[in-house]
Structure 1
Amino acid sequence: MGELQKISILGCGWLGLPLAEQLVSAGYTVKGSTTSPGKLELLQAKNIQPFLINLQDENLEKQTLADFLDSDLLVLNIPPKLRSDGGESYLHQMHILLKALLDSPVNRLLFVSSTSVYQDLNRTVTEEDIHFTKEADSDNMLLKAEDMFTEREEWITTIVRFGGLVGGSRQPGKFLAGKKNLPNGDAPVNLIHLDDCIAILQRIIEEQEWGKTYNACADKHPMRKVFFTKAAESLGLTPPEFNDMEETHFKLISNKKLKDDLSYLFIHPDPMLFF
């Protein structure tokens, strides 16, 4: 297990809960947070130390957050809801967390991010291409959050930028079923299965790959119109309809750095076999 023994996972939802279960089975002491009181018993039943933490709650007790952060490693897994207020509330939550972290023993941080931080460059995109976002979209809330934690010297942060998340309860056939006049049908998809998300995060922890940034998505990138048509049909749903476009805007996310550093082979390398 290496030097890390106690792990806190902020956000035990679609990804955080099965990740917590996997880490418990690997022998780690795991604390898990939820914003739902009804989920506390579920976490407890899975041998995950449960914490009710909502960073948007003005009445959140500082001691509760301090007890949750009494760990070696924090897995930060709160997806920002950027459409509601442009990400302002998300950044506010991150500032609250940052302040609490400064008074905690956490010395490693695993930040779950997204490939949505990259610009559509109409080519293969690597981790180094984030500088285009910094130039064109300096107010990108997710990128600001990444920088907020990577720039600190009190801990070492590794960022994992996941592609589109599928698997488990997230069935891609439902995403676009029945919709019409959709753009970019010829664009490649950048997707990753839940099983690979869990395995990659565990591998980073076990191999102690800290101070890194990784793109994480499946090896293959079928066209949107091909993938989402098959995904809908696999569920017996009406397939989406895409417009014919003279110009396609896209990014094809490279996972080469992750595979090289971690010697990682994807469990689900081809999204066309997700169904």
Structure 2
Amino acid sequence: MEQVKSVSICGCGWLGLPLGKYLVEKGFSVKGSTTRKEKFNELREAGIQPFHISLDPELSGDDPVSFFQSDVLVINVPPKRRPDIVYYHQQQMASLKEAVKTSPIRHVVFISSTSVYPSLNRDVKEEDAVNPEFSSGEALLGVEKVLLEESSFRTTVLRFCGLMGYDRSPVKFLGRMATVINANQPANLIHRDDCISIIYEVIRQGVWGEVFNACSPGHPLRREYYAGAAELSGLDLPPLEGEKGDAPFKIIDSSRLEKVLGYRFQVPDPLDLPEDPEDIKS
């Protein structure tokens, strides 16, 4: 198996920055892109070499050629909310793909989303990604196909569900909620620490050309999830909506990821909240 020594991360935000820091700690040389130069110092402090890269939708920035001088590229650029979201995001990724083709990069991790699935009122697996309900899912599914079919590099797609952890805690959201909508729907959530560990395992094990769901195996009902947060924080639980459970739903099945990577989730149940509210970082 080819040894990976360097990783470029396109998109060093809430997930990409701590991912880069983690990879540096694991001994990788890491380059990270941001659209805001004021973040350069923060990246440098994490041991990441910063680059100013934009996709508008064409690729531009300061020395993008050097940014792509790595063994692996992690693409962590979600679709922008705009009327032409499908076209725009696919143009962004097409521009990025052309840059990768002329670089030394031969392996790509593409961060996708479980929005590629419709609500089928059952467990959904990787092959169920057809006819997404939302434009963001349509955009991502189209990009997945293009990247997976590209022969000059090999891509593994990670479909993350709702991200939680640190400042994305249910306690923080609870304080802004008027009601808990779709209270009887199962929650599909994954902790940021698991996201980072899964990306690392894909790179470490050299698992390429794959598509994986990535979601904690526990799926509490939304009312249970926020009731736990209310108990933890001392806040009142807002009124519940949709208690009849008649809204369409989906339960993300990550068993394939667990089997192929041999992965065990660090936070298997989103109800495993910190005992002390002070433990929740903000």
RMSD: 2.5
2:115 aligned counterpart, secondary structure: helix
TM-aligned CA deviation for residue 248 of structure 1: 2.7
1:150-229 alignment, distance < 5 Å: 150-175=148-173, 177-180=175-178, 182-229=180-227
Give 2:27's aligned residue: 27
Does 1:122 pair with 2:121? yes
Give 1:6's aligned residue: 6
Equivalent pair of 2:184/2:223 in contact (CA under 8 Å): yes
Q: Percent identity?
A: 42
TM-aligned CA deviation for residue 82 of structure 1: 3.4
Q: Runs in 1 of length 4+ with deviation above 4 angstroms? A: 134-139
Q: Distance in 2 between matches of 1:170 and 1:199?
A: 18
Q: Which moved more, 1:110-119 or 1:182-191?
A: 182-191
Q: Distance in 2 between matches of 1:160 and 1:9?
A: 15
Q: Which moved more, 1:179-188 or 1:102-111?
A: 179-188
Give 2:144's aligned residue: 146
> TM-score under structure 2 normalisation?
0.88
Does 1:97 pair with 2:96? yes
Which amino acid is the alignment partner of residue 75 of structure 1?
A: V
Judging changes above 3 Å, is the alpha-carbon distance between structure 1 residues 232 and 150 closer, same or farther for their aligned structure 2 residues? farther
TM-aligned CA deviation for residue 234 of structure 1: 3.0
2:131 aligned counterpart, secondary structure: helix
TM-aligned CA deviation for residue 53 of structure 1: 1.0
Q: Distance in 2 between matches of 1:248 and 1:100?
A: 43
TM-aligned CA deviation for residue 228 of structure 1: 2.1
Q: Which moved more, 1:178-187 or 1:245-254?
A: 178-187
2:213 aligned counterpart, secondary structure: strand
Q: Distance in 2 between matches of 1:248 and 1:239?
A: 21
Give 2:46's aligned residue: 46
Q: Which moved more, 1:91-100 or 1:77-86?
A: 77-86
TM-aligned CA deviation for residue 156 of structure 1: 0.4
Q: Deviations over 1:165-195 (max 9, x none)?
A: 0112212233354534554211110100011
Q: Give unmatched runs, 5+ long, in structure 2.
A: 275-282
Give 2:105's aligned residue: 106
Q: Distance in 1 between matches of 2:210 and 2:45?
A: 34
1:89 aligned counterpart, secondary structure: helix
Give 1:263's aligned residue: 262
Q: Deviations over 1:83-126 (max 9, x none)?
A: 66434432232122122112111100000111111110000111
Which amino acid is the alignment partner of residue 31 of structure 1?
A: K
Q: Which moved more, 1:134-143 or 1:35-44?
A: 134-143
TM-aligned CA deviation for residue 216 of structure 1: 0.7
Which amino acid is the alignment partner of residue 66 of structure 1?
A: V
Which amino acid is the alignment partner of residue 77 of structure 1?
A: N
Judging changes above 3 Å, is the alpha-carbon distance between structure 1 residues 207 and 58 closer, same or farther for their aligned structure 2 residues? closer
Equivalent pair of 1:20/1:30 in contact (CA under 8 Å): yes
TM-aligned CA deviation for residue 60 of structure 1: 2.5
Equivalent pair of 2:107/2:154 in contact (CA under 8 Å): yes
Question: How many residues are aligned here?
Answer: 273
Which amino acid is the alignment partner of residue 17 of structure 1?
A: L
